[in-house]
């Protein structure tokens, strides 16, 4: 027993050490940084202060960024649900080669680099992008529509990035449906629409919930897409953090914002875990 425990510890130590040194320690070391001040030109001040956190609650600029980030996350989540459900519904009912190919087509964008995917949307949405060119060419509009560096661009881009996650989660939920639940509802006289709203939708609710949590948490912490499609002006929490660390060098303020983002993400994951547990226990 003890020999096995020693062996186990030895085997797990390398990975544990790497995670500790290259992951856990750095994240924890951020907390003290966020409690210092910053003076432009002089750098980080030695004294302790809470001003980086109070600023998040008092500064209207931060209010806007926070609200925008969370609103964006919510919007993307709803869009992913609305677009993901029909696709997942179809995919879950496909069989054989068709199912395999559609699955590959859904997974493929997921594996594709986010920079490439965002670039694809830039080519489509830019002022001189494909959509605007086409619309102008057909005479539908005079001046290009503004679809980038604003809410639309970032929302579309993020939805595209995270939709595959939602689809895969929903397909798993739909495939896990008790085989005969839908057939039973139909046999009891419910039409297809009624069956869907009375049986399928409630039974897949946990899957929708899990997918939504995942998409929301990933959206509020995404960096590449908001940066490329939102530009330097339309900013969310992650892009502000990016600028504060690589641009203005206000590390303490950036660290505070990063800490808040982490807490929001972890809280949502934790609460979702609790809700899911309640849910499974209640059944």
Partner 1 sequence: MNEGRIPTVLLLAGAVILLFLLVPVVVVVLAAFSNTEYLAVPPQGFTLRWFAQVLQDETYLASIRFSLVLAVTATALAAVIALPACYALHQRWLPGAETIAGLLMSPLIFPAVVVGVALLQYAAMVGLRGSFPFLVLVHAAIVSPYIVRTVLGSLAGFDPALEDAARVLGTTRAGAFALVVLPSIRPGLIAGLVFAFITSFDEFTVTVFLLPPGQATLPVTMFTAIEQGVDPSVAAVSTLMIVVTGLLLLLSERLSGASRPI
Secondary structure string (H, E, C) spanning 130-181: HHHHHHHHCCCCCCCCCCCCCHHHHHHHHHHHHHHHHHHHHHHHHHCCCCCH
Contact code string over 32-51 relative to partner 1, x by CB under 8 A: -x------------------
- Tokens of residue 211, six digits: 């997918």
Residue from 47, 60, 97, 128 touching partner 1 (CB under 8 A): that is: 128
Is residue 208 within 8 Å of 81, Cβ to Cβ?
Answer: yes
Contact code string over 8-27 relative to partner 1, x by CB under 8 A: xx-xx-xxx-xx-xxx-xxx
Choose among 166, 167, 147: nearest CA to 157.
147
Stretch that binds partner 1, among 57-65, 70-78, 147-155, 250-258 (CB under 8 A): 250-258
Closer residue to partner 1, CB minimum distance, 192 or 202: 192
Choose among 51, 50, 109, 76: nearest CA to 236.
76
Q: Does 78 sit near partner 1 (CB under 8 A)?
A: no
Closer residue to partner 1, CB minimum distance, 50 or 82: 82
Among positions 217-246, residues that touch partner 1 (CB under 8 A) are 217, 220-221, 223-224, 227-228, 238, 241-242, 245-246
Closer residue to partner 1, CB minimum distance, 86 or 202: 86
Q: How far is CA 92 from the centre of its chain?
A: 23
How near is the Cβ of 124 to partner 1 at its closest, in Å?
A: 6
Closer residue to partner 1, CB minimum distance, 210 or 220: 220
How near is the Cβ of 91 to partner 1 at its closest, in Å?
A: 7
Is residue 118 within 8 Å of 197, Cβ to Cβ?
Answer: no
Query: What radius of gyration do the chain's Cα atoms show?
Result: 24
Closer residue to partner 1, CB minimum distance, 122 or 275: 122
Q: 65 Cβ partners below 8 Å, 6+ apart?
A: 235, 236, 237, 240
Among positions 178-217, residues that touch partner 1 (CB under 8 A) are 179-180, 182-183, 192, 217
Stretch that binds partner 1, among 49-57, 70-78, 105-113, 141-149 (CB under 8 A): 105-113
Residue from 50, 67, 100, 205 touching partner 1 (CB under 8 A): that is: 100
How near is the Cβ of 1 to partner 1 at its closest, in Å?
A: 9
Among positions 253-282, residues that touch partner 1 (CB under 8 A) are 254-255, 258-259, 261-262, 265-266, 269
């Amino acid at each position: 027993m003890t020999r096995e425990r020693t062996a186990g510890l030895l085997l797990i130590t390398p990975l544990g050490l790497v995670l500790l040194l290259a992951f856990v320690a750095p994240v924890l070391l951020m907390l003290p940084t966020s409690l210092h001040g910053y003076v432009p030109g002089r750098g980080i001040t030695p004294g302790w202060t809470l001003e980086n956190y109070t600023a998040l609650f008092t500064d209207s600029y931060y209010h806007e960024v926070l609200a925008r980030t969370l609103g964006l996350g919510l919007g993307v989540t709803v869009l992913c649900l609305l677009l993901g459900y029909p696709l997942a519904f179809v995919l879950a009912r496909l069989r054989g080669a068709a199912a395999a190919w559609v699955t590959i087509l859904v997974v493929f964008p997921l594996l594709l680099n986010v920079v490439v995917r965002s670039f694809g949307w830039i080519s489509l949405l830019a002022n001189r992008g494909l959509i605007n060119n086409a619309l102008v060419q057909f005479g539908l509009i005079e001046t290009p529509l503004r679809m980038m560096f604003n809410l639309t661009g970032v929302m579309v881009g993020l939805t595209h990035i995270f939709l595959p996650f939602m689809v895969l989660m929903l397909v798993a939920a739909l495939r896990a449906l008790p085989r005969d639940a839908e057939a039973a509802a139909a046999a009891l006289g419910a039409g297809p629409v009624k069956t869907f709203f009375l049986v399928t939708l409630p039974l897949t609710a946990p899957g929708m919930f899990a997918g939504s949590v995942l998409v929301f948490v990933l959206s509020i912490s995404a960096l590449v897409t908001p940066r490329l499609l939102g530009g330097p002006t339309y900013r969310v929490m992650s892009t502000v953090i990016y600028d504060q660390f690589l641009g203005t060098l206000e590390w303490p303020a950036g660290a505070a914002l990063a800490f808040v983002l982490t807490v929001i993400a972890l809280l949502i994951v934790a609460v979702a875990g609790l809700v899911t547990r309640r849910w499974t226990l209640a059944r």
